[in-house]
Structure 1
Amino acid sequence: MSALVWVGRSVFAIIWGAMLANIVWPFPGKGFPLFLILLFILVTLHLLQLLMFATVYREHIQWRRGDYWQIILFGVVGWLAIVQDQPHRQQRD
């Protein structure tokens, strides 16, 4: 599962790189508006996931400040990383 999380993070890093590259160096033709729409959808869905996960699981999971950013950047993959790290967090406390 740990390897799958890292693969997912790598894929999302490539996706974010393409989306941000479109803003800095606009893609020719219809690529620019398409990638802007995709960026808006990606940010909206990840914020919606953050809202859902934070409200439902706030009492059940130890949250850290970086966890919010993980979900915003990586979506479900970030959530899997947080859930996977919970046994380690409970041992540290």
Structure 2
Amino acid sequence: MSALVWVGRLAFAVIWGAMLANIVWPFPGKGFPLFLILLFVLVALHLLQLLMFTTVYREHIQWRRGDFWQIFLFGVIGWLAIVQAQPGRKKQHD
């Protein structure tokens, strides 16, 4: 599962790169507004996921500061990485 998490992170890095490249170097034709709308949808969905995960699992998951950014940037893939890291985090604090 760890390899799939890294593949997902790489995929989201490419997606974020394309979205941000559209802002810096606007794509020709209808590409600019399309990618701008997709960027807003991506940000809105990842913020909604962050809100859901933090409110539902606040007591059950040991959170770190970077976890919030991980969910914002990678969505469900970031959540899987956080869940995967939990056994190691609990051992450090016990």
TM-score bracket, normalised by the shorter chain, equals over 0.9
Partner Cα distance (2:72, 2:61) in 1: 17
Equivalent residue for 2:45? 45
Q: Per-residue deviation at 1:75?
A: 0.1
Aligned length: 93
- 1:1-93 matches, within 5 Å, as 1-93=1-93
Partner Cα distance (1:16, 1:61) in 2: 27
Identity %: 84
TM-score, normalized by length of structure 2? 0.98
Letter in 1 for 2:74: F
Partner Cα distance (1:33, 1:41) in 2: 12
Partner Cα distance (1:71, 1:5) in 2: 12
TM-score, normalized by length of structure 1? 1.00
Per-residue Cα deviation, 1:31-78 (whole angstroms, up to 9, x for no partner): 000000000000000000000000000000000000000000000000
Gaps of 5+ in 2: none
Q: CA RMSD in A?
A: 0.2
Gaps of 5+ in 1: none
